[in-house]
Amino acid sequence: MGGLANSQPETRPLGIVVLLVDDQAIVGEAIKRMLADQTDIDLHYCRNPFESIEMAAVLRPTVILQDLVMPEVDGLTLVKFFRAHSATKDTPIVVLSSTEDAKTKSEAFGLGANDYLVKLPDRLELIARIRYHSRAYINLLERNEMFEKLVASEQRMANEMETGAKYVASLIPAPITEPITIDWRFVPSAELGGDSLGYFPLEEDRFAIFLLDVTGHGLASALLGVAVSNVLRARALPNTDFAVPSQVLTSLNNTFKMDEQDGRTFTMWYGVYEMKTRRLVWCAGGHPSALLFRPGQIAPTELESLNPGVGMFEWDSFEQKEIIVPENSRIFVYSDGAFEVHKQDGETWTFREFIQFMSQPDNEDQNKMDRLIQHVRMLKGNNGLDDDFSIMDVRM
């Protein structure tokens, strides 16, 4: 139980802290005696109202008991000052008055007082009011603290996601114009998915192209996508011919098993293009069909595969397919984030609608991939992307 000295502790004690502001020492002594046996209530007394704001800023009381009639300053004005100060703007204020005047009560509540007692109040009532307002204020402080921690945590997470997205994007090779032309767009979702893409030359005038999408969201999914991409770029799969797509997916399926990746699997499209013969061999595991547009062809040919997602379960051999690609053809390889769009009207953009969009003639003023991103965002309205948006435009 604190004394009546005008001390100003540097830190706020735990529990209930009461600041009494009253110019009459006899009132201070009376309140002290009322609270004498309440060991968890820390009472501080301020006789000079001009010092009360500064004292409250240091003490951070859980409730302020304040007289309305003081010679130095009007009590209602002091209530107004407390509410204007950042340290006491939410602190419960219990006004102590010598009258039950309704107008005075109204003015006090209008200026921000939380309660009104005629002094000297009954001891039990005073203790009950102090505990009630202090408990409510402490709960408010705890909620505010938790909210601030939540905001800080979300900001840290957002920063981590942004850093992760930049890292994933930095691993994607720059667009190229020879020996074939490849351009791409990668737009991470707010939660960051596991999309990754890339391409690299192989021996004997061949070129490998891949795009993968890890299940789930967050840094763990993104890191798995990065790990798989690094394995492919380094050609680090044992006993695997990277010019044979079926071997690549079979080896990946054996290397990145779901039960060893916290239940995560990934879909993938992997193709190898032979530039001399114009032969494209591809293998896809649970991934959306790539779209082949031949010159003069409006509707695309879907380069699909019936293999399961990579890492889902044992699979002896992934099936691959091949096709001869006419000169000046164009292939779009993409993740499902490019077309699985939950529109703002509650409907879902269908895959057929996506193909119809991609089949539209080129616009000289805007790249088709940029038009697609713009269209997807328009469909979603103000909502962010549900998943990573990844797409490659390969021209042969």
Q: Are strands 301-303 and 290-293 parallel, antiparallel or unpaired?
A: antiparallel
Query: Mean of the pLDDT values across residues 232-246?
Result: 95
**Distance from C-alpha of 76 to C-alpha of 329, rounded to nearest angstrom:** 81
Among 144, 159, 189, the domain-final residue is 144
Q: What is the pLDDT of residues 317-355, one digit of tens each?
A: 899 999 999 999 999 999 999 999 888 888 899 999 999
Answer whether residue 193 is part of any domain: yes
Please tell me the predicted confidence (pLDDT) of residue 75.
85
Find the domain containing 190 and state its range.
172-395
Task: Judge whether 8 lies within some domain.
Answer: no
Task: Write down the pLDDT at residue 359.
Answer: 94
Domain check: are 86 and 193 in the same one? no
Across the range 273-280, mean pLDDT stands at: 96
**Is residue 390 in a domain?**
yes
107 & 226 share domain? no
Residue 157 lies inside a defined structural domain of this protein = no
Which of 297-330 are b and which e, b meaning 16 or more Cβ less than 10 Å from the residue's Cβ? eeebbebebebbbbbbeebeebebbeeebeeebb
| Residue 154 covered by a domain | no
Listed range (9-13, 262-266, 289-293, 299-303) with the worst mean pLDDT: 9-13
**Residues forming a β-bridge with 69:** 74
| 126 and 217 belong to one structural domain | no
Residues 109 and 202 placed together within one structural domain of the fold = no
Residues 108 and 233 in one domain: no
* pLDDT number for residue 152: 79
Give residues with Cβ within 8 angstroms of 220, minimum separation 6.
262, 264
Which CATH number do you get for residue 84?
A: 3.40.50.2300
pLDDT at 158: 66
Helix axes 75-84, 49-59, angle to 10 degrees: 30
Say what the pLDDT of residue 372 is: 94
Q: Are residues 222 and 93 in the same domain?
A: no
Q: Nearest 5°: phi and psi at 103?
A: -65, -40
pLDDT tens digits for range 41-54? 999 999 988 899 99
Which of these, 86, 87, 137, lies nearest to 114 by C-alpha position?
A: 137
Least confident of 33-37, 98-102, 319-323: 98-102
pLDDT at 370 (0 to 100): 94
Is 14 a residue whose pLDDT tops 70? no
> Do residues 134 and 178 both lie within one domain?
no
**Is residue 392 pLDDT above 50, yes or no?**
yes
The pLDDT value recorded for residue 61 is: 95
Model confidence, pTM: 0.66
Residue 161: the pLDDT is 66
Phi and psi at residue 346, to the nearest 5°: 95, -15
Is 357 domain-assigned? yes
- The answer to whether 385 and 187 have CB atoms below 8 angstroms apart is yes
In a domain, 164, yes or no: no
Average pLDDT over residues 254-273: 95
Which of 128, 144, 160 corresponds to the end of one domain? 144
Whether residues 115 and 243 share a domain: the answer is no
Average pLDDT, the chain: 89
> What would the two tokens of residue 163 be?
């850093």
- In this predicted structure, the answer to whether residue 8 has a pLDDT above a threshold of 60 is no
pLDDT tops 60 at residue 171: yes
Whether 301 and 235 share a structural domain: yes
Same domain for 365 and 231: yes
pLDDT at 3: 44
- Interatomic CA distance for residues 256 and 137, integer angstroms: 53
What is the number of structural domains in the chain? 2
pLDDT digits (tens, 9 = 90+) for 68-98: 888 777 888 899 999 999 999 999 999 998 8
Residue 82: per-residue pLDDT: 93
Q: Do 306 and 188 have their domain in common?
A: yes
The DSSP symbol for 72 reads S
Per-residue confidence (pLDDT) for residue 146, from 0 to 100: 87
Percent of all residues in the chain with a pLDDT value above 70, rounded to a whole number:
94
- Structural domain includes residue 153: no
Kindly tell me if the per-residue pLDDT of 263 is higher than 60: yes
CATH classification at residue 315: 3.60.40.10
Task: Indicate the pLDDT class of residue 154, thresholds 50, 70 and 90.
Answer: low
What's the pLDDT band for 147 if we cut at 50, 70, 90? Answer: confident
pLDDT of 291 > 60? The answer is yes
The reply to whether 181 and 138 lie within a common domain is no
